[in-house]
Amino acid sequence: MTTLETIIVGAGIAGIAAGAKLRREGLSGDMLILERANDIGGTWRDNVYPGVACDIPASLYEYSFRPNPRWKNRFSTGADIQSYLGDVVAEEGLTEHLRFGTDVTAMEWNDADELWELSTTRGPLRCRVLILAVGRLSAPIIPDLAGLETFTGPIMHSSTWDASVDFGGSRVGVVGTGASAVQLVPQLAALGAATTVFQRSAAWVVPRADAPVAPEKTDEFARNPAALRAHRDALFAEAEAGHTARVSDGVEREALRMTALDHLDAQVADRELRRRLTPDYEIGCKRVLLSDDYYPALASGAVALEPSALVALDGNVGVAASGARIPIDVLVFATGFSATRPPFADIVRGRNGRLLAEHWSKGMTAYASILMAGFPNLFVLDGPNAALGHNSAFAMIEAQVELMANLIGRMATQPVAIVETTDAAEQNWSAELDAASTDSVWLSGCTSWYVDDRSGRVTLLWPGTAAEFQLALRDVAREPLPAAASVRPFVTSAAV
Ligand code: NAP
C-alpha cells in the first residue's frame, strides 16, 4: 500500500492554503491533495446558482500571500473567486499534488504503525500526517418534508444548481431566506420565474453597495503592493469593527439595527410587507445579509413572500405552515448545510477505533481549533470555532494553516513522531470559548447553524475578533510539543 508523508483531503480554500503553505515551507514532500470532485474550489466550484457572489470585500477574500490587484468589483462573483483559486493552485505548484475524483470513504489511525489508513474510491493509502480540509458548507441540507416524494418537478439545492432547468415562466418555490436565498431570489425573478419565497424567519439585511473598482485603482494596486496592502489592512480593520455589535448590546448594535431597518424602510413602502420582513430576533444572531436587490424584488411584486415555513408537498403544491397552498413547478432549497454535524466525523476513527462523531457527540470541540485528543497527527481546518460572521474566512484559515505548518515543521526537525493534544487542553480551550460566547448575540434566542442543538454551545464561531484568533494560535505555536509517544524513522514509499 502506498504510504505518504502528508495527505490533505479537500481542494477548497483551506486545502489550497494548507498545500501552498507546506510547499512554501519545504514540507510538502510526497504530499497528496485528494478531492472527490473533478476540480478545485470547494464552495466556489459547487455554488453556481445565479447571482452567487461573496459578501466579504474582494481584497479581504483572498490569500494574504497571493494578493490580487485586479478584482473587478468591491465584492467578487463566485466565478471570479473560482478563477482566482485556479490561478493560485497553478502558481503555487499544487497541480502535481492533486488527485481528483478521489472520494475518501474511511480514515483510521493505526496505533502500531503510527499512520493514518485511508480507504478511497481509488484504493487505499496510508500517511503520517492527515489534514482534513473538507469545508463546512459541503453537505447540503434538504429538509425532510412530508410528501416531498410526490413532487414531480425539478428539485435542487442552492449548491447543486441545475442550470438546464427552464426557469422563465415557471412557478419557482424558494425555501429559505439565508445568504444564498437573498442572492438567488432576485436573479430568478430577472429570469422571468414566478417566484415564491418560503420565509420561516425574516433576515436582517443591510446595504451591499457593490461597485466596480476603478481601473486607475487596480493599476495603482498592480504597480504598488504597499498601496494594496494598505487597502487590505483598512478593509480588515473595518470588518473587525463589526465584531463589537456581536458581543455587546451597545451603540454599535443599535447602529447596525438602525442601518438594517432604514434599508428595509427605504426599499419597501408597503407597511404590511415591511412588518413581515422585520426579524423578530436580535441582529447578528444569524448572519447579517448584504443585498440591494432582495427587498426590491419583493416590493415590486416580482417575488411573492410566504411568511411561513414550507412544511409539506402535496404533489406539486407547496403547503406552508400558515396553511397556504402554493402551486410550484420547480423547488429550490436554499436551506443551508450540515455544519454543526459534519459528515466527515462519521468516517474518521482515532485511537482505539474511536469515531470522531462520538468524540463530538455533544458538539464539535478542538484544541486551538485544529487538534483533537485521541486523533494524533490529524489537523482539521475550518472545524470547531473557526468561523466568523464579521470578517474573512481567509484570515481564519491562514491562521490555522500557520499553526499546522509550525507543528508539522517541528515534527520534521525534532525527534517527534506524534502531535496530539490532551483531553484537558481541548476542554479548557472550549470552556474559555463557551465563557466568551455566553453573553453574545449568537445565544440571544434565535436558531442558527452557529449553535449546536445538542448542547446549545456555539461550536462554529470563534467568539472573538479575527486578530484575536491569529494571536491565540500564535501563542499555541510557541508552546513546547508534547513528548513523543514514540520515535520511529518514517520511510515514505511513494514519490508524487
Ligand atoms: P443558511 O444560512 O443555513 O439558511 C438556511 C435557510 O433555510 C434559513 O433561512 C432557514 O430558516 C431556512 N429553512 C430551512 N428549512 C426551511 C423550511 N422548511 N421552510 C422555510 N425555510 C427553511 O444557508 P445559506 O443561505 O445557504 O447560507 C449558509 C452559509 O453559507 C452562510 O451563513 C454563509 O456563511 C455562507 N454563504 C456566504 C455567502 C457569502 O456571500 N459570503 C453567500 C451564500 C452563503 P431559519 O432561519 O428559520 O432556520
Q: Could you say which architecture CATH assigns to the domain 148-203+242-333?
A: 3-Layer(bba) Sandwich (3.50)
The closest-lying atom of ligand 1 relative to the alpha carbon of residue 61 is 41
* pLDDT for 284 beyond 50: yes
| DSSP tag of 371 | B
DSSP three-state, residue 460: coil
Atom 21 of ligand 1 has which residue's CA nearest to it?
A: 176
pLDDT digits (tens, 9 = 90+) for 452-464: 999 999 999 999 9
> Is the distance from CB of 250 to CB of 440 less than 8 angstroms?
no
Q: What is the DSSP letter of 341?
A: S
Give which of 375, 370, 402 is closest to 385, Cα–Cα: 370
Distance CA(490)–CA(114), nearest Å, equals 10
State in Å: Cα 444 to ligand 1 middle: 18
Q: Count of CB atoms within 10 A of residue 343's CB? A: 11
Q: Which secondary structure element, helix H or strand E, spans residue 317, and what is its range?
A: strand 317-320
Ligand 1: centre distance to CA 318 (Å): 19
Q: How far is the CA of 176 from the centre of ligand 1 (A)?
A: 6
| Rounded average pLDDT over 272-283 | 98
Report the separation in Å between the CA atom of 180 and the middle of ligand 1, taken as the mean of its atom positions: 6
Which H or E run includes 125? Answer: strand 125-132
Amino acid sitting at position 306:
E
Ligand 1 center to 203 CA (angstroms): 10
Output the residue whose Cα is nearest ligand 1's atom 14.
335
Query: Which residue is associated with the grid cell 502535481?
Result: 96
Whole-number mean pLDDT of the chain?
94
Report helix, strand or coil for 252: helix
pLDDT at 488: 40
User: Which ligand 1 atom minimizes the distance to the CA of 54?
Assistant: 40
**Ligand 1 centre distance from Cα of residue 397 (Å):** 22
**Helices 13-24 and 393-413, packing angle to 10 deg:** 40
How far apart (Å, rounded) are the C-alpha atoms in residues 449 and 433? 17
Structure confidence by residue, pLDDT tens digits, 319-364: 999 999 999 999 999 999 999 999 999 999 999 999 999 999 999 9
Q: Describe the chain by its helix, strand, coil percentages, rounded to 5.
A: 35, 20, 45
Q: How far is the CA of 173 from the centre of ligand 1 (A)?
A: 15
Nearest to 76 by CA among 236, 213, 241: 213
Which atom of ligand 1 is nearest the CA belonging to 448?
48
Q: Return the CATH number of the domain spanning residue range 2-139+338-477.
A: 3.50.50.60
Rg (CA), the chain: 23
Q: Is it the case that residue 483 has pLDDT exceeding 60?
A: no
- The DSSP 8-state label assigned to residue 120 in this structure reads E
Residue nearest to atom 39 of ligand 1 (CA): 54
pLDDT in tens, 226-259: 999 999 999 999 999 999 998 889 999 999 999 9
Distance 413 CA to ligand 1 centre (A): 45
- Strands 289-290 and 205-206 turn out to be parallel
The residue whose CA is least distant from atom 20 of ligand 1 is 309
Q: Which amino acid is at 102?
A: T
Cell 500500500, residue located: 1
Which residue shows C-alpha cell 447543486?
Answer: 160
Ligand 1 neighbours, Cβ below 6 Å, are: 53-56, 137, 143, 158, 175-181, 198, 200-201, 286-287, 309-310, 334-337, 447, 449
Alpha-carbon distance 432 to 368, whole Å?
Answer: 11
**β-sheet with 317-320: strand ranges across:** 310-314, 317-320, 325-327
Is-contact 382 136, C-beta < 8 A?
yes
Compute the average pLDDT of residues 116-141. Answer: 96
Nearest protein CA to atom 36 of ligand 1, as residue: 179
> Which atom number of ligand 1 is nearest to the Cα of residue 287?
32
Paired residues of 196 in beta bridges? 173, 304
Region(s) of the chain under CATH 3.50.50.60 = 2-139+338-477, 148-203+242-333
Mean per-residue pLDDT for 78-92? 98
Q: By three-state DSSP, how is residue 363 classified?
A: coil
- Find cell 525527534 and name the residue: 415
Judge whether 292 and 187 are in contact, CB under 8 Å: no
CA of 271 to the centre of ligand 1 (A): 25
Model confidence at 482, pLDDT cuts 50, 70, 90, reads low
Spatial distance between the Cα atoms of 133 and 120, rounded to a whole number of angstroms: 16
CA 404 to chain CA centroid, nearest Å: 19
Q: Which of 197, 335, 458 has the most ligand 1 atoms within 8 A of CB, as the residue to mutate?
A: 335
Supply φ then ψ for residue 126, to 5 degrees.
-130, 150
Report the nearest atom of ligand 1 relative to the CA of 177. Answer: 9
Cα of 259 from ligand 1 centre, angstroms = 21
Give per-residue pLDDT as tens, 409-441: 988 777 667 888 999 999 999 999 999 999 999
Percentage of the residues of the chain whose pLDDT score is greater than 70: 96
Nearest-CA residue for ligand 1 atom 15 is: 335
Per-residue cell: 31: 504530499
The burial of 320, by beta-carbon neighbours within 10 Å (0-12 exposed, 13-18 middle, 19 or more buried), is given as: buried
